Amino acid sequence: MSQLSHTQSIGIMLLMAGLLSGCASMFSGTLPHSAGGEHRAPNFNAAYNKPYKINGVTYYPLKSAAGYREVGTASWYGSESGNRTAMGTRFVPHGLTAAHKTLPLPSRVRVTNLNNGRYVDVIVNDRGPFKKGRIIDLSHGAAKKIGLHGVAKVKIEHLNSKISQK
């Protein structure tokens, strides 16, 4: 009986070790792989990081987002659920993502709602917004986190590759 108990104990310990190692990415400072591979550095040879034209205007993606800061008007989008982003991943409205015209894809930025001081860290994985005067389109989930309903004045700041601790 004690042999069976010992074997069960080893089995349980191995199972727990396996489960805990599967959660390691949650604490390792990297984004989970389920984000569509968006935790990697930008691929500047990819089509989504090359110049592109929308409505007769050519946009030139930046070669680096280091030190990037911008203040302007943000909006949100969410009805495109299931559509593909510029990176080819599925758009998830409740996710924490955004669209920007020129930041390299993917980029991590902090978006602060200047009306209330609330902020959210998002992955820029799409292109847009293409409406005059807007600098970033947030997913509905990201907009909700900072209390953005419609449009608001925001500050965008590039984040390094590590997840910031709040």
- Whether the pLDDT of residue 96 is over 90: the answer is yes
- Whether the pLDDT of residue 140 is over 50: the answer is yes
- Whether the pLDDT of residue 103 is over 50: the answer is yes
Angle (CA) 134-77-68 rounded to 5° is 45
d(C-alpha 103, C-alpha 124), whole Å: 8
How confident is the model at residue 33, as a pLDDT? 34
d(C-alpha 35, C-alpha 2), whole Å: 45
Tell me which residue of 127, 111, 116, 125 sits closest to 164, measured CA to CA.
111
133 DSSP β-pair partners: none
d(C-alpha 136, C-alpha 102), whole Å: 10
- Least confident range of 55-64, 77-86, 95-104: 77-86
Helix (H) or strand (E) holding 7: helix 2-22
- Whether the pLDDT of residue 123 is over 70: the answer is yes
Return the C-alpha torsion angle 143, 37, 63, 46, nearest 10: -120
- Whether the pLDDT of residue 116 is over 80: the answer is yes
pLDDT tens digits for range 36-62: 334 568 888 899 999 999 999 999 999
Domain locations along the chain: 1-30, 33-158
Residue with the bigger pLDDT between 81 and 149: it is 149
Residue 157, C-beta contacts closer than 8 angstroms, at least 6 positions apart: 68, 69, 109, 110, 112
- Least confident range of 18-22, 109-113, 121-125, 132-136: 18-22
Whether domain 33-158 has CATH 2.40.40.10: the reply is yes
Q: What global pTM score does this model have?
A: 0.73
Residue with the bigger pLDDT between 35 and 102: it is 102
Residue 22, C-beta contacts closer than 8 angstroms, at least 6 positions apart: none
How confident is the model at residue 41, as a pLDDT? 81
